[in-house]
Amino acid sequence: MIVEKLMRRYRLVTKRQPLDLHHYQLPYKLHFGPGPEWVKPSTHWLAIDVEHTSDIRLDFNKDQSLPLPSGSVSSIYGSHVFEHMSIFAAPRIFSERYRVLKMGGSFRLVLPDAERSIREYVSGNRDFQLFRRRMERAKTKYNKDYSLFEALKEDFLSPSGQRALGDNTLAHQNAWDFESLCNDLARAGFRREGITRKQFQETSCRDFDFEGTYPAEANEDYRSMYVEVTK
């Protein structure tokens, strides 16, 4: 009954057919921006991305709602994806994650560690692996010689490489340290005592055991912040 009601009420904000949840099991589990190498652990999982091949196609900056009922999701995972939403979209997006997550459910965010990047910039570390990679890419792709600050700035603002978003669009357009992330999550409804900073592959939820088993930015622990939230 819940699936029939959902299919009548919700439609994806794209030209695709209505989302058919008969192919998935409750409680749903969501992976945002999983990439092509990720293999779904079970039929509970839905892949959400801007790409046409996703189960739910979603452009953060055009639509922040999820075509799912409240409390229908037990786990949410997103690695290096939520920084792609604008500062104006963030409040609604985090509120939607809170809405669909059931009580006791887990939300794991892997984000660029902006605080680490700032420390490396202040120390003048041109050999920081992330900065070096960005400088090499700028030279190869755009024939630009990046300054250290330009390498740092891509933590906060960077051009998008996703064709689905079109030309002259942004990838990174948001950033947090742990304190500011806690503030945004608390404003969305999450309890501060339920927010915990973790390490790579350290988790309190077995649903996230796939982290590190396939190529992903989550594996780059030298420049990532791992945070887990329990509703």
Burial of 87 (0-12, 13-18, 19+ CB in 10 A): exposed
Residue 197: band (very low, low, confident or very high) from pLDDT cuts 50, 70, 90: very high
Rounded to two decimals, what is the model's pTM?
A: 0.89
pLDDT at 52: 79
pLDDT at 150: 98
Q: What is the mean pLDDT of residues 179-207?
A: 98
**Nearest CA among 38, 102, 110 for reference residue 73:** 102
User: What's the N-to-C CA distance of the chain in angstroms?
Assistant: 26
pLDDT at 9: 39
165-182 confidence digits (pLDDT tens):
566 789 999 999 999 999
Checking if the pLDDT of 24 tops 60, the result is yes
117-155 confidence digits (pLDDT tens):
999 999 999 999 999 999 999 999 999 999 999 999 999
Question: Could you give the CA distance from residue 197 to residue 222 in angstroms, rounded to a whole number?
Answer: 15
Q: Are 104 and 71 in contact (CB under 8 A)?
A: no
Checking if the pLDDT of 160 tops 90, the result is no
Question: Could you give the CA distance from residue 151 to residue 147 in angstroms, rounded to a whole number?
Answer: 6
Q: Where are the alpha helices (DSSP H) in the chain?
A: 2-9, 90-100, 114-122, 129-142, 148-153, 178-187
Checking if the pLDDT of 164 tops 70, the result is no
Residue 64: band (very low, low, confident or very high) from pLDDT cuts 50, 70, 90: confident
| Domains, the chain | 2-112+170-230 (3.40.50)
- 22-26, 100-104, 185-189, range with the lowest pLDDT: 22-26
Checking if the pLDDT of 85 tops 60, the result is yes
pLDDT at 15: 40
Checking if the pLDDT of 45 tops 90, the result is yes
Checking if the pLDDT of 37 tops 80, the result is yes
How many other C-beta atoms are found inside a 10 Å radius of the C-beta of residue 217? Answer: 15
pLDDT at 6: 39
Helices 90-100, 178-187: axis angle to 10 degrees equals 60
pLDDT at 62: 83
